Amino acid sequence: MNAEKTQMIEYIIRRIRKPGVKIDESTPLFSSGLVDSLALADVLVKLEDLTHTRIPPGMVQPQDLETVDIMFATVERVGKPAK
Amino acid sequence: MTAGAEDNPTNLIDALAAAPAESPFVTAWVNEAKFERVTFGEFRRRSGLQACALRVQEIAAGDRVVIIMPQGISAMTVFVGAMMLGAVPAFLAYPNIKIEPAKYRSGLAGVTANLKSKLVVIDENFPAEMLGHVTLGEEARLLRVSDRGDLHARIGSEKSDENRTQDIAIPGDNIAFIQHSAGTTGLQKGVALTHTAVLRQIEYLRKALKIHGQRDRIYSWLPLYHDMGLIACFMLPMVCHTELVIQVPLDWVMHPASMLQVISRHKCTLAWLPNFAFQFVARRACREPEQQYDLSSIRALINCSEPIRASSMQEFERAFTGIGLKSGVLHTSYAMAETVFAVTQSDVNRPSGPARIWADGGKFRRSHRVVPVEEGTAGAVCFVSSGRLLPNTEVRIVPENGTGRSLEQGQRAAPGQVGEILVKSDCLFEGYYNRPDLTAKAIVDGWYHTGDLGFMLEEELYVIGRKKDLIIVGGENIYPQDIEEIVASHPAIHEGRAVALGAYNPDTGTEDIIVVAEVEEEALLANAAAIEQELRSRVIAAMGIAVATILLKPPKWIVKSTAGKPARSTTFEKLLREHPEFDTASEASR
């Protein structure tokens, strides 16, 4: 697992305030209820910061951020380099 | 279109027909590179085609048509297409991450059964596991439509049929549509509204907000199954011939800064937002370079549909004054589905924005009456006005008898005295659809009992909160939001995760205040005693009242509503299961 994915997992654990929870690259985040809708914006911002990209509005749905692996694949697909 | 419709439309379809064909109507904005814009003429044409397709499905005047489609131009044209036939459309919420599946399924089954619709229009991507919860009567049909939502393409109805809908007469006193009472899922009580009532309400709003068809442009991410989205951000621009720029709610939640982007790019002048959105956007949309946005086009951003918190509006002002947000453009309104939409609107010409008043906090809680004090006085509480009454609207404030029960509705509160808000207006609904039992409880002698508490002062209405949430301690009236705001501001408590409740204490004969709050992380519970003491001190210092019990809980303990906010009643039920010692007390008090 690369450093950015590790940082994202650490961020999500802090954001959902569950220090003991086990999250890896393939843990379902939204369909499982671990991450709620109002946290979507924060996760997306963190993802953009970690990958130095911008993801335009309307290009992603919650399922595109369902796991850490999927969200990094989403960046590859729709992310634009940050200015 | 009937004769004279341009000047004085008798129904919503006449009003749409009178719009200039070439004027832009709806822009469905996804991002800078992806959006769709239709003119009024094109919107009419598409709606006409949808109407023809609905007629092929044997939809006629009076038939209910339920629409469960993703937010967008297609869903809007199905809605208007149904109205063109004199049928009665109703938007229901589309399932999404914000709505808990179990609640959605149960609400969907109840609402579709109550509406007894003839046709339920659902797009092809609607989750299959939810379909079984759409209740269809004997004569009802389910129609699945493609992503584009073009019924005519699906059914194969002829384009040549499109003008035939113009022959259908729609009297103003016919039901135009059914909207559902407040609630984020939209799966609530159905409110049937006539064309006349909707047109009247829009005329009042047009005058109050000084809406100009060509000069104004409305921005919205609000769901169409909610009155604020349906009336203020669909029917109003359709009738006033005003341009509208819409976003899908989930896109806005994921990219709150996109609201600033849309307003800047399209120079939007008007928007409505619930209170939480002011804070949500202010906290999450500041990372982009400021020069990218320009909010100087806004002339009214209206806080509506939730109790108004001065702090939320101040936070928004502080965040965006630097990018052109003008002083005095944040406004307020008190609205509900049962009166079509607005009961009040703050004066958009008032340079300082809505009226505010500071009152002695202790006297307010003890006597439930406002005693004005200077701004900044220790212990003062600030109230933001929701504005003045719209024309032909009456409000009666019915005081309580000291036990939380309203006195007879004939009794009226003095100015500044708190009581339940009763509303009478020529926009008032006639009843909940197919629910005479609920209607009889809600409307008594022509007055709608809102269940909200508030007061009138100098012809302005101030709304304080829900009557059922009020805590009464030794005759003092405590609004849970005031305590929750103080508790949630403590660094150990997670933002927005505090609930204040009242539980009857038979030893004292009054209610005790119980606060349940989630800590930021579980490890903080080891320090619970110190945190609790700090919270008590903060509440005492700010409000002069003592909290009987503070229960610190781990993250995610508090039950959330479908809107993602703490749900007081269900949290209280959970509390009773874990702490049965409060159970007897609650039985006595409720």
- Do A56 and B284 count as a contact with CB atoms less than 8 A apart? no
Q: pLDDT, tens digit, for every residue of B496-515?
A: 889 998 887 767 666 788 99
pLDDT of residue B165: 63
Same domain for B486 and B464: no
- Do A19 and B522 count as a contact with CB atoms less than 8 A apart? yes
Which of A30, A38, A58 lies nearest to residue B253, judging by beta carbons?
A38
Q: Are B38 and B71 in contact (CB under 8 A)?
A: no
Report yes or no on B535 lying in a domain.
yes
Which of A18, A38, A57 lies nearest to residue B31, judging by beta carbons?
A57
Residues of B with CB under 8 A from a CB of A: 30-34, 96-98, 247-248, 250-251, 253-256, 258, 261, 280, 284, 287, 494, 518-523, 555-556, 560, 564
Give the domain-ending residue among B468, B497, B523. Answer: B468
Q: Are B93 and B71 in contact (CB under 8 A)?
A: no
Q: Which residues of A touch B247 (CB under 8 A)?
A: 57
Give the domain-ending residue among B468, B502, B518. Answer: B468
pLDDT of residue B198: 97
Same domain for B424 and B398: yes
- Do A30 and B97 count as a contact with CB atoms less than 8 A apart? yes
| Among B420, B421, B381, residue whose Cα is nearest residue B404 | B420
Same domain for B198 and B65: yes
Q: What is the CATH number of the domain that holds B557?
A: 3.30.300.30
ipTM of the complex: 0.87
Task: Name the one residue in this structure whose structure tokens are 């309307």.
Answer: A58
The answer to whether A82 contacts chain B (CB < 8 Å) is no
Q: Which residues of A touch B147 (CB under 8 A)?
A: none
Q: Please tell me which residue of chain A has the smallest CA distance to B34.
A: A58
Q: Which residues contact B414 (CB under 8 A, 6 or more apart)?
A: B369
Same domain for B28 and B161: yes
Amino acid at B497: R
| Among B65, B47, B46, B68, residue whose Cα is nearest residue B57 | B65
Distance between A72 CA and the closest CA of chain B, angstroms:
16
- Total domains, chain A: 1
Which of A14, A20, A40 lies nearest to residue B254, judging by beta carbons?
A40
Task: Flag whether the pTM goes above 0.90.
Answer: no
Helix axis angle, B257-266 relative to B275-284, nearest 10°?
A: 90
The answer to whether A81 contacts chain B (CB < 8 Å) is no
Taking residue B408's Cβ as centre, other Cβ atoms within 10 Å add up to: 7
Q: What is the CATH number of the domain that holds B85?
A: 3.40.50.12780
Report yes or no on B310 lying in a domain.
no
Report yes or no on B274 lying in a domain.
no
Q: Are A47 and A64 in contact (CB under 8 A)?
A: no
- Do B33 and A56 count as a contact with CB atoms less than 8 A apart? yes
Taking residue B577's Cβ as centre, other Cβ atoms within 10 Å add up to: 8
String of b and e for B281-318 (b: at least 16 CB within 10 Å)?
bbebbeeeeeeebbbebbbbbbbbbbbbbeebbbbbbe
Which of A16, A38, A41 lies nearest to residue B255, judging by beta carbons?
A41
- HSE-up (13 A, CA, CB side) for residue B347: 10
Same domain for B550 and B423: no
Q: Are B250 and A61 in contact (CB under 8 A)?
A: yes
> Six-digit token pair at B239?
């009738």
- Do B30 and A17 count as a contact with CB atoms less than 8 A apart? no
Give the domain-ending residue among B418, B449, B468. Answer: B468
- Do B522 and A18 count as a contact with CB atoms less than 8 A apart? yes
> Six-digit token pair at B241?
């011939």
What are the DSSP calls for A11-76, one per residue?
Answer: HHHHHTT-TT----TT---TTTTSS-GGGHHHHHHHHHHHHTEE--TTS--GGGGSSHHHHHHHHH
> Six-digit token pair at B149?
């939502």
Distance separating alpha carbons of residues B22 and B9, to the nearest angstrom: 20
Report yes or no on B566 lying in a domain.
yes
Q: What is the CATH number of the domain that holds A26?
A: 1.10.1200.10
Report yes or no on B271 lying in a domain.
no
Report yes or no on B128 lying in a domain.
yes
The answer to whether A80 contacts chain B (CB < 8 Å) is no
Q: Which residues of B touch A45 (CB under 8 A)?
A: 284, 287
Helix (H/G/I), strand (E/B), else coil: B90: strand
Report yes or no on B120 lying in a domain.
yes
Helix (H/G/I), strand (E/B), else coil: B210: coil
Distance separating alpha carbons of residues B16 and B2, to the nearest angstrom: 12
Same domain for B500 and B419: no
Q: Are B77 and B43 in contact (CB under 8 A)?
A: yes
- HSE-up (13 A, CA, CB side) for residue A59: 18
Q: pLDDT, tens digit, for every residue of A31-72?
A: 777 887 778 888 999 999 999 999 988 888 888 999 999 999
Amino acid at B404: G
Same domain for B442 and B402: yes
Which of B31, B519, B564 lies nearest to residue A36, judging by beta carbons?
B564
Q: How far is CA A51 from CA A29, B448, B514, in A?
A: 19, 54, 45
Q: Are B507 and B576 in contact (CB under 8 A)?
A: no
- Do B560 and A56 count as a contact with CB atoms less than 8 A apart? no
Give me the residues of A, 47-66, that contact B with CB < 8 A.
56-62
Q: Can you list the residues of chain B whose pLDDT is less than 70?
A: 1-7, 97-100, 103, 147-149, 152-167, 182-187, 286-291, 401-410, 474-475, 506, 508-510, 561-564, 583-590
- Do B251 and A45 count as a contact with CB atoms less than 8 A apart? no
Distance separating alpha carbons of residues B173 and B64, to the nearest angstrom: 16
Query: Structural domain of residue A58, as residue ranges?
Result: 3-81
Q: Which residues contact B582 (CB under 8 A, 6 or more apart)?
A: B503, B514, B575, B576
Same domain for B459 and B567: no
Distance separating alpha carbons of residues B466 and B450, to the nearest angstrom: 9
pLDDT of residue A32: 78
How many inter-chain contacts (A to B, CB under 8 Å) are there?
68
- Do B97 and A41 count as a contact with CB atoms less than 8 A apart? no
Q: Which residues of B touch A56 (CB under 8 A)?
A: 31-33
Distance between A58 CA and the closest CA of chain B, angstroms:
5
Which of A14, A17, A44 lies nearest to residue B254, judging by beta carbons?
A44
Q: Which residues contact B567 (CB under 8 A, 6 or more apart)?
A: B558, B559, B560, B561
Q: Which residues contact B166 (CB under 8 A, 6 or more apart)?
A: B1, B17
- Do B494 and A58 count as a contact with CB atoms less than 8 A apart? no
Same domain for B462 and B491: no
Report yes or no on B431 lying in a domain.
yes
Q: What is the CATH number of the domain that holds B369?
A: 2.30.38.10
Query: Structural domain of residue B150, as residue ranges?
Result: 12-254
- Total domains, chain B: 3
- Do A60 and B556 count as a contact with CB atoms less than 8 A apart? no
CA A20 to chain centre: 19
Q: Are B189 and B431 in contact (CB under 8 A)?
A: no
